[in-house]
């Protein structure tokens, strides 16, 4: 089976060279870009399976690249690279549609492990359980990896789709944030529990009739989240 195509975007050529070497060693095909505009062009026309995207880029920064791609309905999974360490910077990237983040300096082996984990979430593994679930106007098709609300397609990031999948397959069960981090991100994630809150907020904006009063993805105070029972 042909390995996935990964687009690496960073203005530091040494970082690009190291990450490229590790990904190629793992069997991936690699594209490279050194600024935001070049990254946009490659993402649009080369259709990579995943992007490793630096936050600070010349011309157009990583946040703007992410914002534009998501506004265009491009669902390519994005792992954000950032030298910034504050929670706010990480949350902004997630709010714009990034699936994960890695803070510099980072281990290339850890980055490759995260690439594998995100690609697994996209659909390399066969779905378990029903092929489709419908709740009211919400339809989740696990085979096609599609979501529709009122018959209209809704574009979820891979992380948002996986989050919805975990919740909707066990309606009424309250998941803690740590459980969702483990099941949705799919590896020993040492990130912020706030990460889950951001993905839930983004998911609600896309599927809820009124995100401020969610019908489907409900907060369980003091615990985490659950999908509403019928």
pLDDT number for residue 186: 62
Chain position carrying tokens 């709010």? 95
- Range 88-104 average pLDDT: 80
Q: Give the pTM.
A: 0.66
* CB contact set of 7 (below 8 Å; sequence gap of 6+): 30, 31, 32, 33, 39, 42, 43, 46, 48, 50, 51, 52, 76
Give residue-wise pLDDT tens across range 198-217.
899 999 999 999 999 999 99
Predicted confidence (pLDDT) at residue 32 exceeds the cutoff of 90: yes
- Range 191-195 average pLDDT: 69
Fold of 5-124: Rossmann fold (3.40.50)
Say how many CA atoms lie within 13 Å of 227 toward its Cβ: 18
pLDDT number for residue 126: 45
User: For residue 73, how many other CB atoms are within 10 A of its CB?
Assistant: 8
Do 132-227 and 5-124 fall under one CATH topology? no
Predicted confidence (pLDDT) at residue 41 exceeds the cutoff of 90: yes
Residues above pLDDT 70, as percent of the chain: 90
Predicted confidence (pLDDT) at residue 42 exceeds the cutoff of 90: yes
pLDDT number for residue 187: 53
Domain boundaries, the chain: 5-124, 132-227
- Range 176-199 average pLDDT: 74
CB 52 within 8 A of CB 40: no
CATH classification number, 132-227, choose in 2.60.40.1930, 3.40.50.300, 1.10.579.10, 1.10.10.10 = 1.10.10.10
């Amino acid at each position: 089976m042909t390995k996935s195509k990964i687009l690496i975007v960073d203005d530091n050529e040494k970082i690009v060279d190291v990450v490229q070497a590790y990904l190629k060693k793992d069997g991936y095909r690699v594209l490279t870009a050194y600024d935001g505009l070049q990254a946009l062009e490659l993402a649009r026309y080369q259709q990579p399976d995943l992007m490793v995207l630096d936050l600070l880029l010349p011309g157009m920064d990583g946040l703007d690249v992410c914002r534009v791609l998501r506004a265009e309905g491009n669902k390519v999974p994005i792992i954000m690279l950032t030298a910034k360490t504050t929670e706010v910077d990480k949350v902004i990237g997630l709010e714009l549609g990034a699936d994960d983040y890695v803070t510099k300096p980072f281990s290339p082996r850890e980055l490759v492990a995260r690439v594998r984990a995100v690609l697994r979430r996209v659909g390399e593994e066969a779905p378990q359980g029903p092929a489709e679930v419908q709740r009211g106007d919400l339809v989740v098709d696990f085979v096609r990896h599609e979501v529709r609300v009122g018959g209209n397609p809704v574009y979820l990031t891979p992380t948002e789709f996986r989050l919805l999948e975990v919740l909707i397959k066990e309606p009424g069960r309250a998941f803690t944030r740590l459980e969702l981090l483990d099941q949705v991100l799919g590896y020993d994630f040492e990130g912020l529990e706030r990460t889950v809150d951001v993905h839930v907020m983004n998911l609600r904006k896309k599927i809820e009739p009124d995100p401020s009063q969610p019908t489907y993805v409900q907060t369980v105070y003091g615990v985490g989240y659950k999908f509403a029972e019928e």
